[in-house]
Amino acid sequence: MRMAQVVGNVVSTIKDRGYAGQKLMIVDFLDEAGRRTGETAIVFDAAQSGVGDVVLVSIDGGASGMLLGREVIADMTICGVLDSMTLDGDTRTYL
């Protein structure tokens, strides 16, 4: 799992039938301090996230099928939207 911030969405007018109804988002991964790294990826969204949300991204392709509820070929999927996080006594609120 990696933390990321949603920075955009992808619109695809033509795609495989197996991906119908699935939302694709663009994320920018975060470092340990919560800063954007500039490392971006296009990921499936199983958590109904939106632009600006801080999310958890599953980077295990096998988990994508479980999260999306079907057989899919995917490396990364958003599996949760973070409300807050506490690390070493420091709490960050994201919503």
| CATH architecture assignment, domain 2-13+21-93 | Beta Barrel (2.40)
Rg of the chain (C-alpha set) = 14
| pLDDT band for position 88 (cuts 50, 70, 90) | confident
Task: Report pLDDT for 92.
Answer: 86
Task: State how far the Cα of 46 lies from the Cα of 44, in Å rounded to an integer.
Answer: 7
**Terminal C-alpha separation, the chain:** 20
Q: Where are the domains of the chain?
A: 2-13+21-93
- The beta-strand segments (E) located in the chain are 2-10, 23-30, 36-45, 54-58, 77-81, 84-87, 90-93
Of the candidates 6, 40, 12, the one whose C-alpha atom is nearest the C-alpha of residue 25 is 6
List pLDDT tens digits, range 24-72: 999 999 998 889 999 999 999 989 999 999 999 998 777 777 766 666 7
Task: Report pLDDT for 21.
Answer: 79
Q: Determine contact, residues 85/91, Cβ cutoff 8 Å.
A: yes
| pLDDT band for position 10 (cuts 50, 70, 90) | very high
Tokens of 62: 């096998």
| pTM, 2 dp | 0.86
